Amino acid sequence: MSVGIDTTWLMEVSLREHPGHVAARAKLERLAAAEETLAVAPQVLDEFVHAVTDARRLQAPLSMADAIALALRWWNAQSVRQVFPSAESVRLGWHWMREHNLGRKRILDTQLAATFHTHGISRILTSNARDYRVFGCFEVL
């Protein structure tokens, strides 16, 4: 079974200066010891590169080249399952937006949740638990 990862957790585990880094690394080590597979969607890596190169968010942002190299390391890692949005996941994402009366700032996380759900992923690593609990079908780690 795979565990979906979102951008906030990916930043925590990847950036030593992030306040959540130690806890995220410990979680990653526990998952690796249990031989869990991580699931990542391309939109997570897109948002990751955007965030870690932003000088307004980070005191020491990564260069674009370093950010892309790190994103590709995650994308190509042996313990990572690549998952992609589909027509079904897009429909589900828009359905959830209406059903839960979610606003514009919830579009990306909702589409990611729908992508994970349509791939049979029911556990998500995130530091924004409330973004995923609303759907009632995920265990937030």
pLDDT at 83: 98
Average pLDDT of the chain to the nearest whole number: 96
What pLDDT, in 10s, does the model give residues 33-74? 999 999 999 999 999 999 999 999 898 999 999 999 999 999
The structural domain count of the chain equals 1
Is the confidence at residue 1, as pLDDT, over 90? no
Q: How confident is the model at residue 27 (pLDDT cuts 50, 70, 90)?
A: very high
Query: What burial class does residue 87 get, using C-beta atoms within 10 Å of its C-beta: 0-12 exposed, 13-18 middle, 19+ buried?
Result: exposed
Domain that holds residue 135: 2-140
pTM of the model: 0.93
CA dist., res. 136 & res. 48, Å (int): 26
Domain of 67, CATH number, reads 3.40.50.1010
CA distances from 76 to 16, 70, 140 (A): 21, 10, 24
* Backbone dihedral angles phi then psi of residue 83, each to the nearest 5 degrees: -125, 145
